[in-house]
Each structure stands twice: as C-alpha cells, then as structure tokens.
Amino acid sequence: MQNPKNDRNQAQPGSPEDQINIELSEEIAEGEYANLAMIAHSSSEFVIDFIRLMPGLPKAKVKARVVLTPEHAKRLLAALADNINKFESHYGPIKQVAESPTFPMNFGGTMGEA
C-alpha cells in the first residue's frame, strides 16, 4: 500500500521542483561568433575550442572553450543531430563544401576538427 504523504513529497516531471533555474547574463546572451571548432579529448573529458578565423588575419582567436565529460559530449552529439534533423526538415538540407578546407599555418594538427 502506498503512503499518500510520500507521493506528495516526490517531484512530478514538469513541476516547479523539477525545473532548473538558469541565469543568462546579458554578455553571454549576446553570444560569440565562431567559424571553426577544434576538439581534443582525454579519458575523462572532451575539450571543444570555438575559434573565430577571419580572412586576411594571421591569427585566429579562441572565443570560447567548453569542457565536457564523455557522457555529456555524447548527449551533445545526440542533441545536435536531433536539432540538425529538425532544421533540415523545416529549411531543407544544409549544403556542405565538397572539398576539405585548407587551414593556414598550423591549423589542423593532431587535434580533431569539426
């Protein structure tokens, strides 16, 4: 027999107790433009550097670095795939350049590229 008192103490999905309050500052809300991402990983984490590479400038800048656990990296991969599928269903296929991009100087080294 269930105890109704215990049932009331458990948060129901979608209830205020189940929601996360997320603060977004104005600075972060503006976002950062990146046109290159470089990914590295170890046994315990994935590091994604979001980079802005501007034509004609010899130096690219890392605009943001995100460090994820392998589990969260896999969830991000699934979420990106799901959102790309939804985007393409609504707007049509995303066109990709057939040839591999060439990177100036030391870009592309031993780190993964996205």
**Beta-bridge partner residues of 49:** 38, 65
Residue 104, in any domain of the structure: no
Residue 2, in any domain of the structure: no
Residue 113, in any domain of the structure: no
**Residues 42-73: tens digit of each pLDDT:** 999 999 999 999 998 889 999 999 999 999 99
**Residues 19-29: tens digit of each pLDDT:** 999 999 999 99
Residue 82, in any domain of the structure: yes
- pLDDT category at 97 given cuts 50, 70, 90 is confident
Residue 1, in any domain of the structure: no
Please, which residues have CB within 8 angstroms of residue 40's CB and are 6 or more apart in sequence?
46, 47, 49, 111, 112
Residue 9, in any domain of the structure: no
Residue 57, in any domain of the structure: yes
Domain around 46: 33-93
Check residue 43 and give its pLDDT: 97
Amino acid at 40: A
Query: How many domains does one find in the chain?
Result: 1
Residue 99, in any domain of the structure: no
